[in-house]
Amino acid sequence: MYQTMEGSARPHRTAGFVAEETQESAPATQAELLRTLQGVSDNIMRLAGKLRAGRNPAADDAASITEQHALAQQLIGRLLALPASQS
């Protein structure tokens, strides 16, 4: 967790997963969506820690947080839309 907050950990690859899922017609499982949501959440926390600390923040870090937040909202919506039998 410390490495993630410090920004020395590699960001998770979540955008590609969601882009692939929207192209496919088969819905993702709850476990896959939750795993992806966890990765997005980790990215948001890492970027927020980097911006707050003021250590070498990239110009696009704030935009990345906004993008990751939108992705998280999309994932949450998809989780809420899953049928109860799949939960």
Per-residue model confidence as pLDDT tens digits over 5-29: 444 455 555 555 555 545 454 557 8
pTM (predicted TM-score): 0.61
For the cut 90, the answer to whether the pLDDT of residue 86 exceeds it is no
State the pLDDT at residue 27.
56
What per-residue confidence (pLDDT) applies to 23? Answer: 45
Domain ranges of the chain: 2-17+30-81
Percent of the chain with pLDDT over 90: 36
pLDDT of residue 71 exceeding 50, the answer is yes
pLDDT number for residue 1: 42
Contact 71, 46 (CB under 8 A): no
Rounded to an integer, what distance in angstroms lies between the CA atom of residue 81 and that of residue 3?
A: 34
Its sign, for the CA torsion 30, 35, 41, 47, is negative
Q: Which two tokens stand for residue 79?
A: 């989780």
Q: Is the pLDDT of residue 62 over 70?
A: yes
